[in-house]
Amino acid sequence: MEFSLAVQNNRLGASAEGMDAAGEVATRYGFKTLWVADHLLVSRKGGPKADEWYAQYNLLEHEWILEALLSLMYIGARHQTVLLGLGVIVPAMRDAPALAKEIASLDTLSGGRVVAGVGVGDEEDYLEYQNLGKVDRFKVRGAYLNETVALWRHLWSGRTDPFVGKFHQLNDFTFQPPPPQGGNLPIFASGRSDRALARVGTMLDGYLGSRWAPSQFHEKWPAAIERARQNGRPKPYLAMRVRIRIGEQPDEIFSLCGEPEAVVAGLLDYEAAGADEVVLVFDAVKPEEVLRDTERFNREILEVYRERSRLQRAAAGGGPTRAA
């Protein structure tokens, strides 16, 4: 199982210096991908179906946020060995053709390092759709996402024949240059609904989970793999965002917390549940905090996990977990 890092382009105080620190430690410890968050105009109230706790959580996470694609452009220019993950972008809040060009340009300028996580948002995001002038898309956001994926594949693969969908009709167009990864640029689903997981088995390359405990995936993920097999698709890739809070007590949002042994055991549970990658999420924003938290994770958790994982695989007669 590989490790990646969530870059704090969000939360109060997010800065170029903090993102640089994330890029530095990702390179130092061999983390695979740097993932950024995406929101544009979050609501202070959180939407008609959001409770007060969720509204406050959303503000804490996303009131202060540096735009996702520009953040990845900055990171990718300065740290040239890690993959660049959108984790995740909501096409229905933006526009699919413009995103196709922006993501293709980022992939070109970074040498083919982009992974695009996509989602539709939650019921609580209704007011953000409204703020962006896209409220008419809210009830059809799933259909818009499905068409977006088809449109991106069409454009990125270099096709020039017409594309006719419900939301987009392209008849006379040119799209150059295509991304270095072409139509195979990885697109991951996200979201906690069964429909999000269903997309993994029918049209997408993997899944980026968030706030899931390992036990919640022991049944769901095998079903997604089987759906992909039935549709003649390769085994999908599973990346899980996991908050790491060494030495702390549980709170409202799921995390691996407590003593180092408990955190190591939790990581082994994710591996057993089928995770290919864990995206480490620390609350750290300032550069010195990023360095402190990742160094502690490496010192107290990472090497212990890797040795324990190696021994378990050897005992089971298996080899290393699959990489993307």
Token pair, residue 39, equals: 């929101």
Comparing CA positions, the residue from 242, 213, 216 lying closest to residue 301 is 242
The reported pLDDT for the residue numbered 251 is: 86
SS3 (DSSP) at 59: helix
Residue 16 and residue 6 in contact, taking contact as beta carbons nearer than 8 Å: no
Flag whether 73 is in a domain: yes
Flag whether 321 is in a domain: no
The reported pLDDT for the residue numbered 47 is: 66
H helix and E strand count, the chain: 11, 11
Residue 118 and residue 147 in contact, taking contact as beta carbons nearer than 8 Å: no
Flag whether 106 is in a domain: yes
Range of the domain at 126: 2-316
Our count of domains for the chain comes to: 1
**Can you say how many angstroms the Cα of residue 19 is from the centroid of all Cα atoms in its chain?**
16
Establish whether the linkage from the previous residue to 7 is cis, with ω within 30° of 0: no
Flag whether 27 is in a domain: yes
0.85 cut: is pTM over it?
yes
User: Which parts of the chain have pLDDT scores under 50?
Assistant: 322-324
The reported pLDDT for the residue numbered 204 is: 97
Flag whether 210 is in a domain: yes
Classify each residue of 301-317 as buried b or exposed e, where b means 16 or more C-beta atoms within 10 Å of its C-beta: bbeebeebbeeeeeeee
The reported pLDDT for the residue numbered 147 is: 98
220-230 and 194-202 helices, crossing angle to 10°: 30
Going 287 to 292 to 295 to 301, the CA torsion angle's sign is negative
Comparing CA positions, the residue from 234, 128, 142 lying closest to residue 191 is 142
Pairwise CA distance, residues 89 & 85, whole Å: 10
**In 10 A of CB 244, how many CB atoms?**
22
Query: For residue 163, what is the domain's CATH number?
Result: 3.20.20.30
DSSP secondary structure letters along 145-164 = HHHHHHHHHHHHTT--S-EE
Pairwise CA distance, residues 109 & 116, whole Å: 15
The reported pLDDT for the residue numbered 205 is: 97
Flag whether 201 is in a domain: yes
Token pair, residue 36, equals: 């950024």
Token pair, residue 189, equals: 């689903």
Flag whether 92 is in a domain: yes
Residue 278 and residue 247 in contact, taking contact as beta carbons nearer than 8 Å: no
Flag whether 322 is in a domain: no
CA dihedral in degrees (245, 248, 249, 255; nearest 10)? 0
